[in-house]
Amino acid sequence: MPKAYEVIADDLRRSIREGERNPGDRLPSETKLAEQYRRSVPTIRDALRLLREEGLIEKEHGRGNFVRRSRTIARRTNVRHQWEKDRAREPVEERAQTGATEHDTGLELDDLVFHASYREIKAGKDIADAMGVPEGTALVERTYRTRYATENAPFSLVTSYLVRDHVAANPDLLDETKEPWPGGSQNQLYTVGIELDRIEERVTARPPTPEEAEELELPRGTSVLVLRKTSYDIKDRVVDLSDIVLPGDRTELFFTTPLERW
């Protein structure tokens, strides 16, 4: 037999799914819900906790519980890489009009809030092995966060690694204040004479760390997709390694594989 808080959660869930409560609507206070359902406030809190864990509602400190707005979906395809390469040699005016996030979400440049930070590090064993360089090699570690201006959580958590010696010829590539860079990484590499030959992407899934769950505002029980993107140049060198953490509740990976005709 269902518990009292589960019955209350079922009724609130139904009201949300049937459109009686719309995204952004504030739920009645815990006290008013307790009066409505003739149950104790702790029972109401258990019901609301269940709905928060399902991602149906969210609590705003000092304001109450609200029906959770759907987050913008990012549809990441493998053809985006050729799209980026085709743009890498375009004039800056062309490159500045749109970027990969706009490509994936359908949003406009003015809809987005972007943040980048750079630092120089020494390659540890995992990164050194993945990039085919000795441990201790000087790297530029870049972290990126891009979000829709009306949302708090970023679309992904991106950490990218460049071999410092590969890009040092252009000092702008060591300067985070030059971000966002029109044309993205492929144009950045083009400025130092690097052309990409291929990109490998490996995707796994796992539970988020507490820090990831908080930053991505993940409902309890939601997994993250972890994408390791390895970019090779025409000399078969790894020139960019990126670890990308994607929220499982609002990311779609879409792959189209052209097949040669008989």
22 with 138, same domain?
no
* The predicted structure's pLDDT at residue 12: 93
End-of-domain residue from the set 42, 67, 92: 67
Q: pTM to 2 decimals?
A: 0.82
* The predicted structure's pLDDT at residue 219: 85
Instruction: Say if residues 29 and 66 touch (Cβ distance below 8 Å).
Output: no
Residue 261 located in a structural domain: no
Q: Which of 183, 155, 166, 178 is nearest to 252 (CA)?
A: 155
62 with 97, same domain?
no
The boundaries of the domain holding residue 184 are 74-254
| Range picked from 70-74, 224-228, 252-256 for highest mean pLDDT | 224-228
141 with 217, same domain?
yes
The per-residue pLDDT for range 205-225, each reduced to its tens digit, is 999 999 999 999 998 888 999
Residue 262 located in a structural domain: no
130 with 91, same domain?
yes
**Could you tell me the CATH number of the domain that includes residue 38?**
1.10.10.10
212 with 167, same domain?
yes
Instruction: Say if residues 10 and 1 touch (Cβ distance below 8 Å).
Output: no
Q: Name the phi and psi angles at 175, rounded to 5.
A: -120, 110
* The predicted structure's pLDDT at residue 62: 85
The per-residue pLDDT for range 10-47, each reduced to its tens digit, is 999 999 888 899 888 999 999 999 999 999 999 999 99
15 with 32, same domain?
yes
Distances (CA, A) of 92 to 80, 159, 168: 19, 25, 21
53 with 164, same domain?
no
End-of-domain residue from the set 20, 47, 67: 67
196 with 242, same domain?
yes
